[in-house]
Amino acid sequence: MKLRTFNRTNRKYNSGGRISIPGFSVNARGAFVLNVGLVRMLNISSDDKLLIYQDLEYRNDWYLEITKSEEAFKPCFYKNQVKFSNIATAHEIFKSFGKKPQMMKFSIKEKPLIFDGHILYSIIANDKRK
C-alpha cells in the first residue's frame, strides 16, 4: 500500500488553518469573488485587471485572463480575496449554463492555454443545481 498524507503543512493554499480550493463565485447581482486560493494560484497583484471570455462556438466554455488592459475589470482586494462586479457578464454566465440567476461556484484549471497571444485559464462550473 502507498498512502498520500494531507495535512496543514503540505497543502499549497492554506489560509488561516483552512484549505482554500482555488475558485470563485458569482451571484445574481453580478458580484464576482475570487478566493484566496485562486488569488495565490494565479499570483494576482493589485495592479492586475481581469477579463472574462466566452467561446462563441461552445457557449458553456468560459475563460479568465489576468491582464493590464485598460478595458478589463479592475478588481478590489478585500481580506485576501479579489472582487469585481458586472451584472451583464454574470447573467450571460447563468444563461449559458441554463441556470436562474442566483449563485454559482467555479474552479479554474491550473494549466493555462494560449489563444491569440492571450494566456487564458479555463473556468469549470461546480454548480450541481438543476
pLDDT of 32 strictly over 90: yes
What pLDDT is attached to residue 22? Answer: 83
In a domain? residue 31: yes
In a domain? residue 117: yes
Nearest CA to 18 among 45, 37, 33, 5? 37
Is residue 64 helix, strand or coil?
Answer: strand
In a domain? residue 92: yes
Q: Whole domain around residue 74: which residue ranges?
A: 19-125
Looking at the structure of the chain, the number of domains it has is 1
In a domain? residue 1: no
Instruction: Please state the φ and ψ torsions of residue 37, each to the nearest 5 degrees.
Output: -60, -40
In a domain? residue 130: no
Percent helix / strand / coil, the chain, rounded to 5: 10, 40, 50
Q: Which three cell numbers stand for residue 69?
A: 488592459
In a domain? residue 44: yes
Confidence at 90, pLDDT banded by 50, 70, 90 = very high
Q: Could you read off the pLDDT of 64-73 as tens digits, one per residue?
A: 999 999 999 9
